[in-house]
Amino acid sequence: MSSHGVAVLACVALGVPWALAGSWRVCGGTLSGTARAALGGIAAAELAWLAYGVLELAGLGVRFEWLERGDLRALGLAAIVGLVEEGAKLAGALISLPHARCDARERARIVLAVAAAFATVEAVMVLPGAAWPVLVGRAACAPVAHALLAVPVALALAGAGAGGAAPRIAGGLFVAALLHALGDFSLMRPPWGRAAFAATLLLPAIWLYARGRSGRDRARRSPLPARAAAVFPRALASR
């Protein structure tokens, strides 16, 4: 097997476990969820590639080396990249969500799995030919980074069933694109850029932790019948 083929297999081997973890026993089963995440990630990568091609034809071609300039043009480029890639991941997630009814947590997990699959496809497209330390590090970590950046979209889609779906999703996309832009822009700013990039990725993780903590606190403070109804809805309904 050629070195290019080995690099592609390495990207897939390092990325697939993250997509599998996100789609484990989701919306009809692990295999179904993983297949949906994979197809959504491929669709998202193709949509992003198409969007970059349209921008190129419009005279707004994206040159990633421009990010190193640190000027307003670099900031504008980071914003475009964030909007294109987070928008593509949102579209891939919408394609992947099954028609069958899924609960909020399952919808959010599908979005994160699609983001991980998107990162894997992106790695397969751009990393072969890179030095092995760069390839292994990015292929292993990019699915986590893209999933964290997609957290606002995941939460928006998870709560879309509660009403106001369009504003929720638009707001989630805006926040995700903003985080993506700040991460890309700061990554090119030595010596503090890597710390700022890490902080950008920590924000969604802290947000998720805070939401989970507040949910548990509300459950503890709720009256016992309400808590029992949340845990045993079918048992209570049958009485």
Query: Domains in the chain: how many in total?
Result: 1
Instruction: Label residues 121-141 b or e (16+ Cβ within 10 Å = b).
Output: bbbbeebbeeeeeebbebbbe
40-79 pLDDT, tens digit per residue, is 889 999 999 999 888 888 777 666 666 666 666 777 888 8
| Amino acid identity for residue 92 in this structure | G
Instruction: Tell me the residue range of the domain where 97 lies.
Output: 3-237
Res 162: pLDDT: 47
Q: Tell whether pTM > 0.85.
A: no
Structure tokens given for 198: 């890490």
Rounded mean pLDDT of 213-228? 57
Structure tokens given for 213: 């903590």
Structure tokens given for 152: 């606002």
Lowest mean pLDDT among 79-83, 199-203, 210-214: 210-214
pLDDT of residue 133 exceeding 90: no
73-128 pLDDT, tens digit per residue, is 777 888 888 999 999 999 998 888 766 567 778 888 888 889 999 999 988 888 88
- Angle of helix 72-96 relative to helix 30-57, nearest 10 degrees, comes to 140
